[in-house]
Amino acid sequence: MQVAQQIKPDVYWVGALDWNERHFHGYTTEKGITYNAYLIVDEKVTLIDTVKEKFHGELLQRVSSVIDPAKIDVVITNHVEMDHSGSLPLVAQACPNATFYCSTKAVGELAKHYQGAGIDFQPVKTGDTLNIGKRTLTFVETPMVHWPDNMVTYDEYDKVLFSNDAFGQHFASTTRFDVDSDCCEVMKQARKYYANIVQPYGMQAAKALAAVEGLDLEMICPAHGVIWTEHIPDILEYYSRWTKNERVDKCAIVYDTMWDSTEKMAKAICEAFVQEEVDCRYFDLKYTHESDILAYILDCKYVCVGSSTLNMQMMPNVAKFLTYFRGLSPRNDTRVGLAFGSYGWAPVAQKQVQQVLADTGFQLPLDPVSLNWRPDQAYLDDLQEKVRTMVAAAE
List the catalytic residues. Answer: 25, 79, 81, 83, 146, 165, 193, 224
Rg (CA), the chain: 24
d(CA 90, CA 75): 12
Q: What is the maximal distance between C-alpha atoms in the chain?
A: 78
Instruction: Calculate the CA 73 to chain-centre distance.
Output: 32
Nearby residues of 85 by Cβ (< 8 Å), 6 or more positions away: 49, 50, 77, 79, 110, 113, 114
| Residue 254 bridge partners (DSSP) | 283, 305
- Own/partner contacts of 113-121, CB < 8 Å, gap of 24 or more, are 113/80, 113/82, 113/85, 114/85, 114/88, 114/89, 117/88, 117/89, 117/92, 118/92, 119/88, 119/89, 119/92, 121/77
Cα distances from 3 to residues 12, 162, 213, 302, in angstroms, run: 10, 20, 33, 48
- Own/partner contacts of 90-96, CB < 8 Å, gap of 24 or more, are 90/53, 90/56, 90/60, 91/47, 91/50, 91/56, 91/59, 91/60, 92/117, 92/118, 92/119, 94/60, 94/69, 94/70, 95/47, 95/69, 95/70, 96/70
Nearby residues of 287 by Cβ (< 8 Å), 6 or more positions away: none
